[in-house]
Each structure stands twice: as structure tokens, then as C-alpha cells.
Amino acid sequence: MTITESERGIQDPSEYRGVRRIDHAPQIFNNQPARYYLMWLLLPAIILLAGISLYPFVWLIYMSLHEVQLAPGKSDLWAGFDNFSRLFSDKNFARGWLTLFKYSALCLSVEISLGVLVAVILNNSRLEKLFITIFLMPMMMAPVVAGFLYMFLYNGTFGWYFWLLRSLGVLDGGSILGNKFWAMFGVVATDVWQWTPLIALITLAGLKRVPQEQVEANMVDGAGPVRNFFSVALPNLYPFLLIAILLRFMDNFRFIDTILIMTGGGPANATKILPTYLFDVSFKFFELGRGAAIAFTLLLLTILLGLVLTKIFEDPTRKIKSNGGG
């Protein structure tokens, strides 16, 4: 590969940040001594990461293949893939996955539609700045605090949201977190409250990147604002929303603080998404082998999602990244 002059070009040198550089590193970074130098820079972080991630992972595999014993002095028994095969007959395991998908689907569909709607309305409006500031507030809140806050709001004795819903006649005499049906919406609403702003911000960032020429061309062609949104803005937003969906989905099973605080998975397992079930198995039942097997399946999903994500990150067209900023 040769370095072409045009690739190296920088139109305005004051904009160093955000300028794509050539893909091919100059050889000053790419020879033996330079590599040693770079390796020494890389090594501390890699060793630390290996210690705190690879090592537990090896351990996880070990545990998943053993029946970890619950009596003093007994060594663990080799279990082969028993821990995994037992998952197939574990009702709670299948149900945990199902609940996780249901929970995520609910969260994401509401967050995406609300977030996009808000962003489209706010884009270029005078209120944009104000709302962006407002958006920050829920996002900055520790999930635990959010969990407690919503638990407080939902409380059947003194919760304001409970009162509101009852006054509107929605709950039909029941409660929020104590009802199988409403509890799911209760935890979803918490997630929606916290993270719709992020979707809105991502969408706003995306909308700023919709080529104005396309919008204008489309308007000249006779499209109204709604048509315009679907035929011009949405296709441009697509990669942004995809990123948002993947990240939020991943966080849905990365952070279970809120659900643990609010329902602990109840009532009647209505909100027991797989990670909370894993929490029970490992930390309450002390079935470390089975827990490790469940954890393994979760990690597998993570890796799959991660692969998709990195594919998008490496998208050669780089629709998502803009110049400037960063």
C-alpha cells in the first residue's frame, strides 16, 4: 500500500481533531524498536486487564465444568457439560431469557420511539438547549438511586405515581410492583425514564448529520415533514439507532441494580430477567457451577453483540463518525 498525497491532506490544519488520518502507519511506528517501545506502553494496561478479566474468565470455565462442592474438604467434581445440559431442563433459565428479551424489547421500543420523537421535535428548536440540560439529569443518576426513587414513587401506601395511576383509574384497584403485569411496566418505566434522554441525544446527534441538501431536495420534490422524516432522516439515523439499541440491550443485562432493588425479580418471577436469576443461583443458592454455566451463556451473547458492534465501529463508510468534535 502506498501513501497517497490526497489521503494525507488536511484542508484546515486548525481542525486536527477529527481529521481522519491515513490507515497505514508510517514506518517510524512500525519497525522493531518502535514496536518494542509501543509494546511497553501497551503492556501495563494489558497485564492489568488480563488479571481482572481473563483470569476470572478462565475460572468461570473451570467452574462451569465442575460440580462445585458445598462441604468442607471436598474437592470439586468434574462434571463435563452437565451444568450446561441441565440448563435445557431448567424452566427458570428459559424463562429468564424470555423475560430478558421481553424486558429489553419493551424498554427499547418505548425508548426509541419516544427518544426519536422528542429529538425530531427538538431539533433546531429554541428549546433544544434547555431539554438537553434536562436530559442529563436522569442519566447521571446511579441506577440504585433510580431504583429507590421509583420504588418510592410506586409505593402502594405513599407513592405519588401510585396515587396518580389509581386516580386515573389505570391500576384497577391493584398495585404497581405488586402486580405481575404492572411490575414489568414499572421497571421498564424506570429504564425508560433514565435512558430515553440518551436515545434522544443520540438521535439529535444523528439528525445534525442528515444532509440538509437531501431534505431540501425532498421538499422541493413535494414531500411533507412526515414523509421527509421517513424518507430522508430515518435512513440516515439508522446506524445511530442501531448503535443505541445494541448498547442499551447490552446494558439491560449488564446493570441489574435497578431490578434487584425494585423487585428482586418478582412478583412471581415476572421481572426475573436472566442476570437476576444468575444472581440468585450464584449468590443465593451458591450453585457456582450452574451459575458459571448461565454466566457463560450470557457472556456468549455479549460476545455476539460485541462482534456486531465492532463491525459497525469498523464500518468503512463511517457514516456515524463525523469530522470535528470528539
Partner 1 sequence: MASREIVRYKSPARTMFSALVILFLIVFFVWTVLPLAIMLISSFKDLLDAFKLPAEGDWGGIGVMFDFEPTGAHYVELFTEKNFGEYMRNSLIASLGSAVVSVFLGSMAAYALSRAEFRGKRDLLFWIISTRMAPVVAVMVPLYVIFRSSGLVGTLPGLILAYTTFNLPFAIWILKGFFDNVPYAIEEAALCDGANRWQALRMIMPLVAPGVGAFIVLCVLFGWNDFLFASIIGSGGAKTLPVATAELVQPVKIQWGSIMAAGVITTVPMMFLGLLIRRYLVTGLTMGAVRE
Partner 2 sequence: MATVTISDVWKYYGKTVAVKELNIEVRDNEFLCLLGPSGCGKSSTLRMLAGLEFISSGDIYFGDTRVNDIPPKDRDIAMVFENYALYPHKTVFENMANPLKLQKMNKVDIAERVEWAAKMLEITELLQRKPVELSGGQKQRTAIGRAIVREPKVFLFDEPIAHLDAKLRSHMRGELKHLQRRLETTTIYVTHDQLEGMTMADRIAVMHEGVLQQLGTPSEIYNHPVNEFVAGFVGEPPMNFVDCYIERQDDAVALVNDSGQMKLLLSDAQSRALAEKSADGVVRLGIRPDDLFVEAGQGHGLDFTAKIFITEPLGGDMLVEAELGDDRLTIKRKIADMGQPGEACGLAFNIEKLHVFDRETGEAFF
Partner 3 sequence: MFQVPKNALYKKISRRKFLELGGGTAVALGAGSLGVGLGSVITRRPVYASSSMEAKWRQYEGSKLVFMSENTPPSFAIRDNIKAFYDLTGIEVEILTDGLPTVQQKVGIDLRSGQADYQLNYVQDKPIGSPFADFYADLNDFSVDDTLPLDPQGYGDEVWFENYLDACGVYYERGPIRAFPYDCAVSCTFYRQDLFEKLTKDFEADYGYRMEFTDETTYKNMVDFTAFFKKMHERDASIPYGYAQHHGSFGWTTQLDIQRHMYAQNQWLDFAVDDTLGSKNPGPANWGDAQSVKAMEGYKALADVSHPDNLTNGTLELNTVYAAGGVAMQIQYHEFAASVEDSEQSVAAGGRTAYAMGPKGDPSWNADGSNNVVNATNCGIGGIGINAGASMDLQRAAFIFASWACSHETQLMVLQGVGGTPTRRSVLDLPEVKAARNRPTSMPNALTFEAVYDKGIRSPNMVLGPKLPKANEYHEIVRVGTQQCISGELSAQEACESVRDELNAIHGV
Per-residue contact string for residues 266-285; x = within reach of partner 3 by CB under 8 A:
xxxxx---------x--xxx
Cell output for 151: 420504588
Q: Closest approach of Cβ 89 to partner 1, in Å?
A: 21
Pick out residues in 161-190 that bind partner 1 (CB under 8 A). Answer: 163, 166-167
Of 213, 210, 203, nearest in space to 248 by CA: 203
Residue 120 or 176 having the CB closest to partner 3: 176
Binding stretches for partner 2 (CB under 8 A): 1-6, 8-11, 13-14, 16, 24, 26-28, 31
Core vs surface per residue 24-42: b (16+ CB within 10 A) or e: eeeeeeeeeeeeeeeeeee
Q: Closest approach of Cβ 3 to partner 2, in Å?
A: 7
For partner 1, how many residues bind (rule: CB under 8 A)?
121
Residue 288 interacts with partner 3 (CB under 8 A)? Answer: yes
5 binds, among partner 2, partner 3, partner 1, none (CB under 5 to 8 A by kind): partner 2
Residue 65 or 232 having the CB closest to partner 3: 65
> What does each C-alpha distance from 94 to 37, 42, 90, 296 come to in angstroms?
49, 41, 7, 15
Q: Rounded distance, CA 116 to CA 120, Å?
A: 6
Chosen residue from 108, 110, 153, 233 binding partner 1 by CB under 8 A: 153
Q: Closest approach of Cβ 176 to partner 3, in Å?
A: 8
Residue 21 or 180 having the CB closest to partner 1: 21
Residue 53 interacts with partner 1 (CB under 8 A)? Answer: yes
Q: Closest approach of Cβ 20 to partner 2, in Å?
A: 13
| Half-sphere exposure (Cβ direction) of 109: Cα atoms closer than 13 Å | 7
Residue 46 or 70 having the CB closest to partner 1: 46
DSSP category for residue 19: -
Q: Is 229 exposed, middle or buried (0-12, 13-18, 19+ CB in 10 A)?
A: middle
- Phi and psi at residue 132, in whole multiples of 5°? -60, -40
Per-residue contact string for residues 147-186; x = within reach of partner 3 by CB under 8 A:
-------xxxxx---x--------x-xxxxxxxx--x---
Chosen residue from 103, 187, 278, 290 binding partner 1 by CB under 8 A: 278
Residue 68 interacts with partner 3 (CB under 8 A)? Answer: yes
Residue 235 interacts with partner 1 (CB under 8 A)? Answer: no
Q: Rounded distance, CA 203 to CA 209, Å?
A: 10
Residue 201 interacts with partner 1 (CB under 8 A)? Answer: yes
Of 307, 324, 292, nearest in space to 76 by CA: 292
Q: Closest approach of Cβ 313 to partner 3, in Å?
A: 32
DSSP category for residue 72: T
Residue 13 or 73 having the CB closest to partner 1: 13
Q: Which residues contact 248 (CB under 8 A, 6 or more apart)?
A: 104, 107, 108, 111, 195, 198, 199
